[in-house]
Amino acid sequence: MSTYPIVRDQLAQLIAFDTTSRLSNLALIDWVEAQLEPLGAVCRRIPNAEGTKANLWVRIGPDTPGGIVLSGHTDVVPVDGQDWHTDPFTLTEHDGLLYGRGTSDMKGFVALCLAFAPEFAKLNLSKPIHFAFSYDEEVGCQGAPEMIAQIIAHGARPDAVWVGEPSLWQAVSGHKGITVTEVDVHGREAHSSLPDLGISANGVAIDLMMVLRQIEKDLITCGPKDSPFEPPYPTLTIGEMRGGTAHNILARHCHFGFDLRCPPGFDPDAILAPFYEAAEQADAEMKARFPECGVEVNRISNVPPLAPDPDNAAEILVRALTGDNAMRAVAYATEAGQFHQAGLSAVICGPGSIDQAHKPNEFIDPAQLQQGVTIFKKLVDRLSAGS
């Protein structure tokens, strides 16, 4: 029997689990474990603090160092407010394409891992194959670090980490890091005709956002001209802001969030130092007038970049399987940077296009899954030969 229908069926099952990051992924993890444990795979959950979500670290083969990690995240972004033409949690074929939330980002790669697990389990492996399925990648890669730490602490340091983010099966050597920050400004309400009786949280927030805007403009001059990243400099964007209740009331609260994306070699803390200084000063000035007021700055995530290294074991493996030898770097962040920060060889390569990620009517071309079958069969052949 062709492996493609198995992959398609696995993908349909995965899409049916609504694993939007705000929800639990445990039902999906239960289902994956039920498939893998009868094969002799060793499954270990690494839960979040609340026990509502979990990473799943799977080992097929001997409990030894080395081997390969196939890495994918189980969560997806929301569909709220998007104009979907199909049920986003039902895999639907239309005009030769497969639609559903997560088809490209990135349950297609997870489906390939699961479809080939029986083949991996039949091999007489001298080194293990690991699956590393994480939670909360879409909200700042929050799940993977604890799983990575446990893999290393267990003495299972792999030779190569293959992160299957959508890349149209092109090898991606590097990506920018991302620092996500949220800011809450707490003011004091008063009538807008008597502003001295309160503090507008919106006004303070605007001052702080102006500092960020200046940093954003200054960054355009940074970055070497021969950088593989596009754009070559760090980028800063304010993606979220809300505050106030009426035009004639000084705003009691204002919230805004921003992200900073840095190529390797840039220090996010150094770049954001003027903002931190301005926030600290604003906090002190507000508290001096009204002790209940102030500025809270919370770093939500700080995902490290993946530095290009074409000679690493992960790239050598993926390039041998795909035949792709071009050098690429991308602006988005992935868990590959976290594996790299832990001293592990990592590369990005997977089915589907990043252009489909996070959009309504997300789809994957079945040809991408069929190409994945060919690539995974080559991996099985290499492992069978002891390579």
Element housing 301 (H / E):
strand 294-303
Q: If you write DSSP's letter for every residue of 40-70 in order, what string do you get?
A: T-EEEEEE-TTSS-EEEEEEES-S-S--EEE
- Return the DSSP state at 39: G
Helix (H) or strand (E) holding 191: none
Q: Cα Rg for the chain, rounded, in angstroms? A: 23
Please report, for the domain that includes residue 247, its CATH number.
3.30.70.360
Q: Residue with structure tokens 């003011």? A: 187
Q: What is the pLDDT of residue 133?
A: 98
CA of 327: how far to CAs of 171, 319, 346, in Å? 8, 11, 14
Q: Which residues contact residue 51 at a Cβ distance below 8 angstroms, ignoring those fewer than 6 apart?
A: none
pLDDT at residue 310 in the model: 77
pLDDT of residue 1: 57
Do 360 and 375 lie in one domain? The reply is yes
pLDDT tens for 309-365 read 878 999 999 999 999 999 999 989 999 999 999 999 999 999 999 999 999 999 999
277 & 312 share domain = no
Q: Which of 270, 303, 336 is the last residue of a domain?
A: 303
**285/244 same-domain check:** yes
Residues 215, 357 share a domain: no
Q: How many domains does the chain divide into?
A: 2
Angle at 242 between CA 236 and CA 245, to 5 degrees: 160
- Domain of 113, in residue numbers: 4-174+306-384
Residue 302, token pair as written in the block? 């700080």
Picking from 254, 284, 303, the residue at the C-terminal end of a domain is 303
Whether residues 24 and 143 share a domain: the answer is: yes
pLDDT of amino acid 224:
83
Token pair of 101 as six digits:
């939330």
189 and 158 in a common domain:
no
Amino acid 251: pLDDT: 98
Give CA–CA dist 154/361, Å, rounded: 41
- The predicted structure's pLDDT at residue 247: 96
What distance in Å separates the CA atoms of residue 151 and residue 57, rounded to the nearest whole number?
A: 8
- 59 with 24, same domain: the answer is yes
Annotated active-site residue in 137, 165, 283, 324: 137
Q: Which residues of the chain, if any, have pLDDT below 70?
A: 1, 387
209 and 101 in one domain? no
The per-residue pLDDT for 2 is: 83
68 and 98, same domain (yes or no): yes
Instruction: List the Cα angle 166/114/24 in 5-degree steps.
Output: 75
Q: Please indicate, yes or no, whether residues 17 and 43 belong to a single structural domain of this protein.
A: yes
Residues 39 and 115 in one domain: yes
Alpha helices in the chain (DSSP H): 4-16, 26-36, 108-122, 144-153, 201-219, 268-289, 313-322, 336-341, 366-384
CATH of residue 79's domain is 3.40.630.10
Report the pLDDT value the prediction gives residue 83, as an integer from 0 to 100. Answer: 97
148 and 65 within one domain? yes
Neighbours of 291 (CB within 10 A): 8
Instruction: Confirm whether 75 is a catalytic residue.
Output: yes
Which of 303, 337, 357 is the endpoint of a domain? 303
Residue 137 bears catalytic tag: yes
Considering only CA atoms, which of 332, 331, 352, 318 is closest in space to residue 15?
352
